[in-house]
Amino acid sequence: MPEQSTPSIPSIPSMPSKLSTASTGSGGPDPSAPSRPPAAPAPPTRALRLLRAAGLVSNFDRFCIAPMLVLIAGPLGTGLSTMALAAGVYYLTYGLMQPAWGLASDRMGRIRVLRLSLAAGSLAAALSALAPNAPLLIVARALSGACFAACIPATLSHIGDVVPAERRQRPLTDLMTAFSLGTALGTVTAGVLAHYAGWRLVFALPALLAGYLWHALRHLPEPARRPSGSPLLAPFRVVLATPWMWYVMAVALLEGAVLLGFLTYLAPALEARGVPAPVAGAVSALYGVGAMACAQLVKKLVGRWSPTALIVAGGAQAGAAYALAAVSRSELALAVTALLLGTGWSFLHTTVQAWATAVTPAARATGVAMFGVSLYGGSALAGGLTAGAAGHHAYGGIFLAAALLTIPLTLAAAIGRARYRCSPAA
């Protein structure tokens, strides 16, 4: 595969004096240009709906187990700590398989890989629903995480392939909204369904939906790809040889810590004050509600606000959210925190995500996958570094640290995005 030429990171004094106010999350053209080439036709609405549905099912399957750990442990005759492994191995395989699926998507095609992962994920989720004991359930959840991990690089890269750069953030925002909806449904409804209808039904739902999507996607056309006569690991060589990709991955590492890692402490902070677990889970789920509610606003602002402005707005919301949580851990304060983190995610993450789809167009899915590895790696790093403080219920200090980290995150993302200009092939 030929190596894509990309710009190198310029020095600080060379900041361009004129930034495009109409550029989008992945780098639009300069408005001073005399003309703009005709926009490519938008992908079919049904195709976008199917891609969003795949993202929703993936996130539902990923987040549904957390509210059910106690409900599953009893019938399977095991302890909570053992059942927590079922959640842990899912996140581990989900993150580790990102590069593998990204590489496969670049070489085999987006839709082919997406259908393969959905078929395998459907079987793994069905095995989860039928698991007779804890060890088999842990294995089934590990397989589910490995399979559904393909939904991120495949769906994001498909949109990156078929939507022009100047219009890309709008469908990406819709995709992130579907991810957020899957998170909210997995967090809120799983516990209720498991309580009234049994936990096996919860795992059966993504199994059935993934099987349906495997069938429904069979007629979706594959985006045009370059010939795959290059070495197997050539996409990784393209990604790792691009300085801007390293920069974006560093931003993703910080973003994962701030917007995902510290987020997990909202519910434990409430439970430490005696708030019932269902209420604490519902408060945490407001994160997804905020992301979905704000997504339409972000879509309207794309093209009106520069990517830098969107990033600064998202960082400001995240910083305010954690500052409030550092001051008060009441139900109202943490509900507002969750909502602000969700709206901040819509502004900041969708802009950075759109940026990641443009940096290495010759190996787009692999680049998006490496972005995902950095994002989830940052989340895991934040959790590991703060585990001791969380064990002592020092949530005020944890949230204060998160608020302070939003400053370098916002500066790095905003300055980098302002300097970046995507290549014409993006």
pLDDT (0 to 100) of residue 17: 37
End residue of a domain, out of 197, 219, 241: 219
Question: Based on the domain organization, do 377 and 305 belong to the same domain?
Answer: yes
Q: How many domains does the chain have?
A: 2
Q: Mapping DSSP to helix (H, G, I), strand (E, B) and coil, where does residue 305 land? A: strand
Q: How far is 282 from 300, CA to CA, in rounded Å?
A: 29
Where a domain ends, among 196, 219, 242?
219
**CA gap 380, 256 in Å, rounded:** 8
The answer to the question of residue 389 being in a domain is yes
Q: What average pLDDT score do residues 40-52 get?
A: 71
Give tens-digit pLDDT for 221-275: 887 665 555 676 778 888 889 999 999 999 999 998 898 888 878 878 887 888 8
Residue pair 105/150 in contact (Cβ under 8 Å)? The answer is yes
Q: Are 67 and 190 in contact (CB under 8 A)?
A: yes
> What is the mean pLDDT of the segment spanning 166-171?
74
Q: Quick check: 290 and 340 in contact, CB under 8 A?
A: yes
In the predicted model, is pLDDT for residue 165 greater than 80?
no
Strand partners, 273: none
State the Cα–Cα distance between residues 250 and 413, nearest whole angstrom.
Answer: 9
Distances in whole angstroms, Cα of residue 31 to Cα of each of 117, 206, 236, 303, 415: 41, 45, 34, 11, 20
Cα(first)–Cα(last) distance of the chain, in Å? 16
Give the rounded percent of residues in the chain with a pLDDT score beyond 70.
85
Q: Please state whether 38 falls in left (phi above 0), alpha (psi between -120 and 50) or beta.
A: beta
| Assigned domain for 31 exists | no
> Is residue 95 located within the same domain as residue 160?
yes
Domain membership flag for residue 16 = no
Mean pLDDT of the chain, nearest integer: 81
- Global pTM reads 0.70
Domain extent for 368? 233-426
The pLDDT of residue 413: 96
Q: How far apart are CA 87 and CA 138, in angstroms?
A: 8
Contact of 209 with 57, CB cutoff 8 Å: yes
Please check whether residues 91 and 174 belong to one and the same domain.
Answer: yes
**Domain CATH code at residue 183:** 1.20.1250.20
User: Looking at the predicted structure, is the pLDDT value of residue 11 above 90?
Assistant: no
Residue 32 lies in a domain: no
**Looking at 219, 247, 264, which one is the last position of a domain?**
219
Answer whether residue 1 is part of any domain.
no
Tell whether the torsion through CA atoms of 201, 55, 249 and 407 is positive or negative. negative
Q: 346 and 247 in one domain?
A: yes
CA angle centred on 345, ends 385 and 187, rounded to 5°: 75
Q: Do 283 and 172 fall within a single domain?
A: no
Are 280 and 402 members of one domain? yes
Percent of the chain's residues with pLDDT above 90: 35
> What local confidence, expressed as pLDDT, does residue 21 receive?
37
Query: Could you tell me the two tokens for 356?
Result: 């990641």
- 318 and 396 assigned to the same domain: yes
* Band of pLDDT at residue 23, cut at 50, 70 and 90: very low
Confidence band, pLDDT 50/70/90 cuts, at residue 279: confident
Q: Give the separation between CA 154 and CA 104, rounded to whole angstroms.
A: 9
* Position 19 pLDDT exceeds 60: no
- What are 337's two structure tokens? 């925190």
Q: pLDDT, tens digit, for every residue of 116-152?
A: 999 999 999 999 999 999 999 999 999 999 999 988 7
Identify whether residues 240 and 320 lie together within a single domain: yes
Is 36 inside any structural domain?
Answer: no
| 52 and 198 co-located in one domain | yes
How many angstroms separate the CA atoms of 424 and 426, rounded? 6
Residue 410 maps to a domain: yes
Which DSSP category does 167 fall into? Answer: G
Residues 355-413 have pLDDT tens digits of: 998 898 888 878 888 898 888 788 878 877 887 888 788 999 999 999 999 999 999 99
Output the six-digit token pair for 31: 């408005």
Clarify whether residues 282 and 413 are in a common domain: yes
For residue 80, pLDDT beyond 80: no
For residues 277 and 179, state if they share a domain: no
Greater confidence (141 vs 423) lies with 141
Tallying the residues shown for the chain, one arrives at 426
Residue with tokens 């604490």: 280
Same-domain status, 177 and 299: no
Spatial CB neighbours of 195, under 8 Å, sequence gap ≥ 6: 71
Does residue 154 lie within any of the structural domains? yes
Shortest CA distance to 68 belongs to which of 225, 196, 182? Answer: 196
